[in-house]
Amino acid sequence: MLEAIILTVITAATPLLLAATGELVAERSGVLNLGVEGMMVMGAVGGFAGAITTGSPLFGMAVGMLAGAATSLVFAFVTLTLVANQVASGLALTMFGLGLSGLIGESYVGQPGIKLPSLSIPGLTDLPFVGPILFGQDAMVYFSFVLVAAVSWFLFRSRAGLVLRAIGDNHGSAHALGYSVIGVRYLAVIFGGACAGLGGAYLSVAYTPLWVENMTAGRGWVALALVVFASWLPWRAALGAYLFGAVTVLQFHAQALGIGLPSQYLAMLPYLATVVVLVAISGNRRKTRFNTPACLGVPFVPDR
């Protein structure tokens, strides 16, 4: 029972973690992209299409990643080059993504997908309890942790990461020092889109190998909340993703655990938990002041 719960928590947390890590990088550079849901759902349809067309789930993941990145490019052009309002553009991206994925995916509805295989190491995977949990996951689960470690190293140990954080803290100064604010932000937004696309593809290739319209069901928004919860620190995003994963799967196991709430109330839990967590986290602004990018959501126009 516990093993089954932990396994479902991991698969529920992975797409959130992928998307949140990408958005975290974009936000660290000062761009608030509310279109995570749209990029994720494009990744989901792209991933599904890629997997069933070629028969390779990993190729599907790659297509999902590209779909997410391509979608984010639209947002980047509108908000960075044309300095449109980031909040409104993010909403537009979500609506656009939901609409376009529905259109593209119409022919895939009801088709069986191809599932990303799980690791299987004879001897290790067969170990009781820890075997399936530590050595029986699919590639993306391991990748998500590599990604978090890499992003954490990049942000806090590399010079390029320092530049990115500097741009998020004060784009005027970064510009005055000769850094390309717009260029770095483009890259950060595209990285965020690629990660969201991966997260979406994980849903349609690994989590439930199916295409269902709007199948992200608000996970992109939860990923956005996770970034706030994590106060822009990658490892805390991982913690948050697993907490949310746990809340999400609670509904599937609630009946077995003997919780007699109607299913609709259980389904509300992740959304309510998001609200509660956001409220709880907004209490300690002072502690997170150095991690919150000061230029988040502020458009930048260089004077020439």
Partner 1 sequence: MRLELVKRPEMSRKMMLLSPVIAVGLTVITAGIVFALQGKDPLQGIYLFFLDPLSSLWGLEQLAIKATPLVLIALGLSFCYLSNNWNIGAEGQLTMGAIAGSILPVLAPEFDHWVVFPMVLLMAAAGGAAYATIPAALKVRFGTSEILTSLMLVYCATLFLDWLVRGPWRSPTGYNFPITVDFNSAAVLNSYDIGGVYLNFSTLAAVIAVLAFTVLLRMTLKGFEIRVIGQSPRAGAFAGFSARRMTLFTFALSGALAGLAGMMVVMAEIQKLQPSISPGYGFTAIIVAFLGRLNPLGILVAGIVIAISYLGGEAIQTTMQISSKVATVLQGMLLFYVLACDTLILYRIRLVGGRSSRETARA
Partner 2 sequence: MTGMPGGDVTTTMSEGPKRRPAATGEMLLEARHVVKRFGDNVANDDVSLRLAPGEIHALLGENGAGKSTLVKILYGALQPNAGEIVWKGAPVVIESPAAARKLGIGMVFQHFSLFDALTVAENIALASPKGVSMAELSASIERVSAEYGLPLKADDRVADLPVGIRQRVEIVRCLLQSPDLIIMDEPTSVLTPQEADQLFITLRRLASEGCAILYISHRLEEVRELCDRATVMRRGRIVAETDPATETVASLARLMVGTEIAEVHRSLSDRGPPRLALVGLTLPSNDAFGVSLHDVDLEVCAGEIIAIAGVAGNGQGELFDAISGEKPAATDGAVIIDGHPVGYTGVNGRRRLGAAFVPEERLGHGAVPGMPLSDNVVLTRHSTKDGLVARGLMRFARASEIVGLITDRFDVRKGVADPEARALSGGNLQKFVVGREVDRVPGVLVVSQPTWGVDAGAAAVIRQSLIDLARAGSAVLVISQDLDEIFEIADRIAVISRGYLSAAEPAAAMTRERIGLLMAGGAEKRGEG
Residues contributing to the site for partner 1 (CB under 8 A): 34, 74, 78, 81-85, 87-89, 91-93, 95-100, 102-103, 106, 178-184, 186-187, 217-218, 221, 224-225, 228, 262, 264-265, 267-268, 271-272, 274-275, 278-279, 282-283, 285, 301-302, 304
Count of residues that interact with partner 2, criterion CB under 8 A: 25
Rounded distance between C-alpha atoms, residue 288 and residue 270, angstroms = 24
**Options 19, 62, 69, 166; binder of partner 2; rule CB under 8 A:** 166
**Which of 146, 159 has the CB closer to partner 1?**
159
Residues 6 or more apart whose CB falls under 8 angstroms from that of 284 comprise none
CB 154 within 8 A of CB 24: no
Residue 166's binding partner out of partner 2, partner 1, none, with CB under 5 to 8 Å set by partner kind: partner 2
Residues 6 or more apart whose CB falls under 8 angstroms from that of 32 comprise 26, 86, 87, 90, 296, 297
Convert residues 260-299 into a mask of x (bound to partner 2 by CB under 8 A) and - (unbound).
-------------------------xx--xxx--x-----
Rounded distance between C-alpha atoms, residue 11 and residue 209, angstroms = 12
Task: Kindly state the greatest CA–CA separation across the chain.
Answer: 66
Q: Which one-letter amino acid corresponds to residue 280? A: A
Q: Nearest distance from residue 164's CB to partner 2, in Å?
A: 11
Alpha-carbon torsion (183, 185, 191, 193), positive or negative: negative
Residue 89's binding partner out of partner 2, partner 1, none, with CB under 5 to 8 Å set by partner kind: partner 1
CB atoms within 10 A of CB 130: 12
Task: Work out whether 259 is an interface residue with partner 2 (CB under 8 A).
Answer: no
Task: Work out whether 236 is an interface residue with partner 2 (CB under 8 A).
Answer: no
Residue 100's binding partner out of partner 2, partner 1, none, with CB under 5 to 8 Å set by partner kind: partner 1
**Which of 264, 304 has the CB closer to partner 2?**
304
Rounded distance between C-alpha atoms, residue 270 and residue 277, angstroms = 10
Alpha-carbon torsion (33, 38, 42, 43), positive or negative: positive
Alpha-carbon torsion (59, 197, 238, 298), positive or negative: positive
Q: Which residue has the tokens 């784009």?
A: 171
**Which of 165, 219 has the CB closer to partner 2?**
165
Residue 49's binding partner out of partner 1, partner 2, none, with CB under 5 to 8 Å set by partner kind: none
Q: Which one-letter amino acid corresponds to residue 77? A: F
Residue 4's binding partner out of partner 2, partner 1, none, with CB under 5 to 8 Å set by partner kind: none
**Which of 104, 124 has the CB closer to partner 1?**
104
CB 200 within 8 A of CB 64: yes
Task: Work out whether 178 is an interface residue with partner 2 (CB under 8 A).
Answer: yes
Q: Helix, strand or coil for residue 118?
A: strand
The stretch near partner 2 (CB under 8 A) out of 32-40, 76-84, 154-162, 213-221 is: 154-162
Question: Using CB under 8 A as the criterion, which residues of the chain lie in contact with partner 2 when the complex forms?
Answer: 156-159, 162-163, 165-166, 169-170, 172-179, 285-286, 289-291, 294, 304
